[in-house]
Amino acid sequence: MTLDNCTDEAAIRALLDGFVKAIRGKDIHGVMSVFAPDVVSFDFGPPLQHGGGEPFRKRWQELFDAYQGAIDYEIRDLSVDAGDDVAFSHSLNRVSGTLQNGQKSDRWLRFTACYRKTNGDWLIVHEQVSAPVDVKSGKAVLDLKP
């Protein structure tokens, strides 16, 4: 691993630190700033895939609006592999807080992010966020902990 790769890995870890802070602060501009405009998202909810832009921003805003007050967000078991201009990371991400109906929500999700470096800056160009599915019941398994 060269010094450049170390710097790239550090830059991606810093991007993810900023992402976590932005989610916690419900800072929609901060969240959007880590994604490429043409990101392809395999999101937690339907459809199978969707793109960036206004619909993508709206989904994040709806997530923020679903919680009373602050969202707690944490990234664990983070692994980052960075090449010269292509990189990926995977981690287990915990999102928790109090929903608008007063119910507490606490979920660990699997998060894979894929990055491209353009003009010296890394951006997420693809992400997949999911929960495992129990094949027999067809239900998402949302109470797993790492």
Chain residues that interact with a second copy, rule: CB under 8 A:
40, 42-49, 77, 79, 81-88, 90, 92, 108, 110, 112, 114, 116, 125-126, 128, 130-135, 138-142, 144-146
Shortest approach of a second copy to residue 31 CB, angstroms? 19
Nearer to a second copy, 26 or 116 (CB): 116
How far is 103 from 66, CA to CA, in rounded Å?
11
DSSP class of residue 27 equals -
Shortest approach of a second copy to residue 123 CB, angstroms? 12
What do you get for the CA distance between the two ends of the chain, in Å?
29
Nearer to a second copy, 10 or 133 (CB): 133
Residue burial 9-46, b: 16+ Cβ < 10 Å; e: rest? bebbeebbeebbebbeebebebbbebbbeebbbebbee
Nearer to a second copy, 29 or 100 (CB): 100
Nearer to a second copy, 44 or 73 (CB): 44
